[in-house]
Amino acid sequence: MRSTLWSCALMAGFSLAQGDIAALLASQDDLSTLLELVGLVDGLADTLSAASNITIVAPTNQAFANVPRDIPEGVAIELRNDTTAIAALLANHVFKGSYPSDVITDIPTFAQTLLDDSYISPNQPYSNFTGGAYNGLVKNGADVCVLSGELTISTVTEADVKLGEGITIHKIDTVLSFGAPLQLFTYRSGYLAFNAAVEAAQLGIDVGLTGADTPGLNISDYTIFVPTNEAFESIGSVLESADLQTLQEVLKYHIIPNNVIFSPSLGNVTVPSLQGTNLTFTVLPDGSAWVNQARITYPNTILYNGIAHVIDSVLAPGDFDRASLEPSTPASERLAFPNATFVEDLPFSSVAFSGDTMTYATTPVLLETVAAVATSTANPTSINATATTSTGLPQFTGAASTLFPAAAMVFLAAIGTAASIM
């Protein structure tokens, strides 16, 4: 099977091999663990060597050693016994596109990787984005950093190791993490009011992966806004009297389906919500980003199948006039529900993933930065296509676009499954 797939890959138009990635990794003493893991995925070294226009972020030996051994990928690294987990982990470290360090700025660039929904494991979800999971690239002072799931920040320790003209390699000090399901993220982050509201609402949408027997339509490529606990308590009186349909409508208004929107892509635009009514975005000259009357306080959390932005106020379905925004008003007074009053004990308390032992004790300062692109004039009034950061960076094209379908098949040959990307 492998030989047939490899022959098909060559016929599909691979560029000639630009170098030997196995030899390059072998020449780097601090990448020996990565070399061994690459060798476990049948055909991967040859496929990457033949690639054009990709960026590999390469964890050092110490980075792999630091992965907790009580999580599936940690077990796979330790025992070398789960080809699916290893292949998914490595795919998440290969960006589609060329990202040398000198084009990465303090405005995050979010780019897709080889990790797609063809990697399936009973132990955990890996990714369910169309075209590949997202990770971020950003400057933090003098450092180049990579942002991934579970609030993980990896720092580049050695940049711009080249393999031919088409492959850029950055060494990193921390292995990238997979995005968590929405409700696992909210549980670990302490956004328990939102977590419980989603449980109580019975949306019929599998945003939390609360169990194999939980009914719901799986969705991907969505953007969601997560109000803080204080935001829910500020309208507690409204929630006390809300029926199930009202709660469902409110929560659906916090979801943008089929549209991945990171904060640097925001402007003065309107976007339709899952509920049907438009959401109104505003980016002020100071770079602060707003959705209706709510400020985005913590942006760009990469989930298993979507992107989450934390906001300081609960949104109410209905048209919003941008001119009415009062950014200097405290969140407790910027209420979308007239006459709402504070109630500490909310009418829903059952949360998904209760008992999970991992928590995010602190939020890294780098991730608290909204990093929207400041604007002083109105942008176009609506966006309907998937929005991602536009930076002018070179993107994967040409020979690389023929790589990825074949690469996926080569990855999956090791586990007896063939699938294509895009």
Q: What is the pLDDT of residues 66-111, one digit of tens each?
A: 999 988 899 999 999 899 999 999 999 999 999 999 999 999 999 9
Counts of helices then strands in the chain (DSSP H, E): 14, 16
pLDDT 10s digits, 188-215: 999 999 999 999 998 888 776 655 566 5
The length of the chain is 422
CA distance 70 to 74: 6
CA distance 25 to 48: 12
pLDDT 10s digits, 259-289: 999 999 999 999 999 999 999 999 998 889 9
CA 291 to chain centre: 20
Q: Which phi and psi (to 5°) does residue 325 adopt?
A: -65, 130
CA 124 to chain centre: 16
| 279 touches 256 (CB < 8 A) | yes
Picking from 309, 325, 326, 312, the residue whose alpha carbon sits closest to that of residue 371 is 309
Whether residue 50 has pLDDT greater than 60: yes
CA distance 12 to 31: 31
- Which of 59-68, 220-229, 303-312, 351-360 shows the lowest per-residue confidence on average (mean pLDDT)? 351-360
User: Which domains, and CATH codes, for the chain?
Assistant: 2-179+398-413 (2.30.180.10), 182-368 (2.30.180.10)
Return the axis-axis angle of helices 2-11 and 399-413, rounded to nearest 10°: 180
Say which residue, 385 or 202, is predicted with more confidence: 202
Please report which residue ranges of 144-206 form alpha helices under DSSP H. Answer: 182-189, 192-201
Whether residue 140 has pLDDT greater than 70: yes
Picking from 125, 260, 119, the residue whose alpha carbon sits closest to that of residue 179 is 125
- Please state the rounded mean pLDDT for residues 220-247: 96
